[in-house]
Structure 1
Amino acid sequence: MSIELITLLYFVCLFGALFLGLPVTFALGGTAVVFAAMVEPRALLAVPSAFYSTPWNSILVTVPLFLFMGSLIRYSGIADAAYEAVYKLIGHIPGGLAIGTVQVSTIFAAVTGITPPATITMGQIAYPSMMKYGYNRQIAIGAIGAGGALGALIPPSVPFIFYGLLANASIGKLFLAGLLPGLMLATFYTIYIWLRCKYQPVMGPALPADQKFSRSEKMRSLLGIWPFILLIFIVLGAIWGGIATPSEAAAFGATSALLINMANGRLTLKVFKDSLSTTVKLTGMGLWILIGASIFLNIFNTLGSQDLITEMVLAMPGGTTGILLLMMLIILMLGMVMDDWAIIMLCTPLFLPIIEALNVDKIWFGVLFIVNIQIAYLTPPFGFVLFWIKSILPKDVGWSDVYGSVGPFVMLQLLGLGLVFLFPEIATWLPELFD
């Protein structure tokens, strides 16, 4: 059997298993084991190696620590206080509550590093508030989804950690590279919501006059966001200031989140247990996907398929630009059927030899990769964020409402991706500044 046919069948079996509903890690690992047994039995030695070596990579300790830090913030109710502050500060302007949802999600992203906490928390807090004041469902759900998706891009981003691990790229530089694109997208969302609600007040009316607050009330409400600011300063300040490695900063952040909740009297047994449970579940999911992807790719390389893919892609017309655009399209399409961590585990090792052959900056490519994954979060039919939103919204909110809400925000994400593609300095300026 030719290597071309083996490679084709390899991917056909993988996606067939995914579409049948098999868990990602078993689809990856199972496909690899079957092909190794049939074509190259010696490649099966990669299986025990992946189980033993993968979980012991030192950089992976950052994942449960950042997840634990974010879970403590989510379950303790600190996000409620932050949203209340935004409600008082900018609720009086058109679309203010939706803008506030994006802003709080941005801050939340800078603490959690993943998308579910902000999406779920803001869906539970912000959606009822916006409905109460007559907001259109489209703008309300879209703001929650787009804001939640920022967790993949704004540091300390767990997807960046996985990409950096697989690409052998600096985690600190990736965090720096993701900051400006993340803030740029948050600004795009804010401007869009404000303009839409200004010229179509029915989409997001300002709070009524009797709901306006005094300056002293607004100032007091700002105290509600101090835990966020402190954690951001501790984690990112330690990394970017050269004081600590990402692993050490994650430990500082998790410890600080515990102490902050203790000081606020919010660290109940339920908050602690829920935070630990969420951390263990998400970390376990990530490790299993990483193990499955490691088996898949090791056997893929042993069969010689990686060399074939690299040669085929490099021979394509369009040069570097055409190849990068093709990669972005592949990531976007995979995002419609796979979760973000699985895409990173699968595509990074496949794309990395091509990126190195083209002499493309791995940091810049990493930002393009994660921005594209963020778009996939909101892209039907799979769109992870869409499923999270649907799961926590009232039953009268249908799938048509959810799918119909994200179109403008996906267009803004594509605009952001295009700008980072055309102007790499948006991603590379900060890493070069702190180098």
Structure 2
Amino acid sequence: TGEAVTSVAKDETIVVSMCVGVALAFVLSMLNKLTGLGLLSRMAERVTFVLIPPLLLIFLVLGTIFLGVATPTEGGAMGALGAFAMAMLRGRLSMSLLKQALNTTTKLSCFVVFILIGSTIFSLVFQGVDGPRWVEHLLSGLPGGQVGFLIVVNIMIFFLAFFLDFFELSFIVVPLLAPVADKLGIDLIWFGVLLAVNMQTSFMHPPFGFALFYLRSVAPVVAYTDKVTKKLIQPVTTMQIYWGAVPFVLIQIVMVGMIITFPGIVSSGLDKPEVYDMDKIRLQMETEMQNSDLPELHMPEEGTAPEPGAASPDAHDPLKDMQDAVEGEKKK
């Protein structure tokens, strides 16, 4: 019997290492505060205690997904529960705030459900008039093959993101592009990551970027006096927010180009195909068959009739069947 070799995924190793580092920093900060050893400055200690709760919240959402503990939907629920607990611990949770959060969540959920219903109706009508076939012929006939298809699709997604949200693009546009990408031999997981990076720009460019609205809601509208420096702080205009988002949009565009140029950025982290050692499989099966209680099979000599109850020469060899199944899996 061969020894089992287990390998840990790189993303899990990175997430666990970061969690251990953050936990160690938190423990050292607590010891420094309780014992007064002076290992950290007051600013470093304050930064540690301020950053730990947001990092814990990020771990509840993304860390559990990377570790395979939760699905994306369950990760979002764990993040909401973590935010709820932090608000309670800090004494900032009130009934009015809870009602506002539930009201906003209900509106957003209804918004997504109606988008899903509308996209389903659109898809059914579009398929009824052979729309997917028309889109397939249109996009698969682009010059440049895979590269030409990727360039045109990403330019189209980028400009559609000015007027459509991430949800609309995911429910309406992506199902039309995936069959064409599959027909051109493009890995669909890599293609999905590429489109996700591109569609992230929909949060940042006007006129419907959610991130711009978030910044507008927290940025000062009128001038105010800073409590620490006692200086007059000028208000932040909407145009300044728009121009401030431009560098981040450019970074996203550069990332799209890098993923197309260097596919290994995404595909190197995917599961590698299994490599089967037929000799080890045969030895393991022979060992298991010898240790089992199966009756020994005697092959009749040439020219003699088989004994009653003996296995027929045409009977299936389980070892050969297993070998054929493995070879077939490798060909797939």
C-alpha distance in 2 between matches for 1:244 and 1:404: 37
Which residue pairs with 1:281 in the alignment? 107
Pairing 1:293–2:90 present: no
Inter-partner Cα distance in structure 2 for 1:227 and 1:253: 12
SS at structure 1 position matched to 2:268: helix
8 A Cα contact 2:61 2:75, kept in partner: yes
Q: Does 1:314 align with 2:153?
A: no
Normalised by the length of structure 2, the TM-score is 0.59
Separation of aligned partners in 1, 2:105 and 2:209 = 22
Distance 1:377 1:246 in 2: 19
Which of 336, 349, 356 aligns to 2:175? It is: 349
Structure 1 unaligned segments of length 5 or more: list them: 1-172, 181-213
Task: Look up the equivalent residue of 1:273 and give its one-letter code.
Answer: K
Cα distance in 2 between the residues matched to 1:237 and 1:377? 23
Q: Work out the CA distance in 1 between the residues paired with 2:73 and 2:184.
A: 31
Query: TM-score, structure 1 length as denominator?
Result: 0.46
Aligned residues: 225
The Cα offsets for residues 9-29 of structure 1, whole Å up to 9 and x where unpaired, read as xxxxxxxxxxxxxxxxxxxxx
Question: Is 1:234 the equivalent of 2:41?
Answer: no
Kindly tell me: are residues 249 and 327 of structure 1, through their superposed partners in 2, closer, same or farther at Cα, counting changes over 3 Å? same
SS at match of 2:196: helix
1:243 CA displacement? 3.0
Counterpart residue number, 1:407: 246
Residue 385 of structure 1 corresponds to 211
Instruction: Indicate yes or no: 2:171 matched with 1:332.
Output: no
Aligned counterparts of 2:241 and 2:65: Cα–Cα separation in 1: 37
Q: For residues 429 and 306 of structure 1, do their structure 2 counterparts lie closer, same or farther at Cα, with a shift above 3 Å needed?
A: same
CA-based RMSD:
2.9
Unaligned segments of structure 2, at least 5 residues:
1-8, 16-39, 223-234, 275-332
C-alpha separation in 1, matches of 2:91 and 2:242: 40
- CA shift for structure 1 position 431: 4.2
Q: Distance in 2 between matches of 1:402 and 1:226?
A: 28
How far, CA to CA, are the matches of 1:387 and 1:249 in structure 2?
25
Residue 223 (structure 1) shift? 0.9
Q: 2:87 aligns to what?
A: 261
Q: 1:353 to 1:236 in 2, by over 3 A?
A: same
Shift of 1:421: 1.7
How far the C-alpha of 1:382 sits from its partner, in A, is 4.5
Indicate the residue corresponding to 1:27 in structure 2: none
**Against the structure 1 CA distance between its residues 289 and 221, is the aligned structure 2 distance closer, same or farther, given a 3 Å change threshold?**
same
Which has the higher mean CA deviation after the structures are superposed, 285-294 or 405-414? 405-414
Query: 246, 257, 263: which one pairs with 1:418?
Result: 257
The answer to whether the 8 A contact 2:161-2:202 is kept is: yes
Cα distance change of structure 1 residues 300 and 382 upon mapping to structure 2, 3 Å threshold: same
1:31-67 Cα deviation digits (max 9, x unpaired): xxxxxxxxxxxxxxxxxxxxxxxxxxxxxxxxxxxxx
Q: 1:361 to 1:401 in 2, by over 3 A?
A: same
Cα 1:409–1:257 change in 2 (3 A) is: closer
Supply the distance in 2 between the matched residues of 1:255 and 1:384 (Cα, whole angstroms).
23
Q: 1:431 to 1:255 in 2, by over 3 A?
A: farther
**Per-residue CA distance 1:241-265 (angstroms, 9 max, x = gap):** 3333334444433333333333333
1:336, CA displacement in angstroms?
A: 1.6
- CA distance in 2 between counterparts of 1:421 and 1:307 reads 26
Q: 1 or 2 for the larger relative contact order (CA 8 Å, sep ≥6)?
A: 1
Q: Cα distance, 1:430 vs. partner?
A: 3.5
Shift of 1:356: 1.4
- Who is 1:427 aligned against? 266
AA in 1 matched with 2:241: V
* CA shift in 2, pair 1:243/1:407, >3 Å: closer
Cα distance between partner residues in 1 of 2:217 and 2:79: 29
Deviation by residue 1:155-209 (Cα, 9 ceiling, x = unmatched) = xxxxxxxxxxxxxxxxxx9xx7xx99xxxxxxxxxxxxxxxxxxxxxxxxxxxxx
Contact in 1 for aligned 2:164/2:202 (Cα 8 Å): no
State the Cα distance separating 1:422 from its structure 2 match.
Answer: 1.3
Offset of residue 268 of structure 1 = 2.0
SS in 2 for 1:406: helix
Does the C-alpha gap of structure 1 residues 403 and 243 become closer, same or farther in structure 2, counting only changes over 3 Å? Answer: closer
Structural mapping, 1:139-218, within 5 Å: 215-218=41-44
More helix by share: 1
Q: In 2 relative to 1, CA 429–408 (structure 1 residues): closer, same or farther, beyond 3 Å? A: same
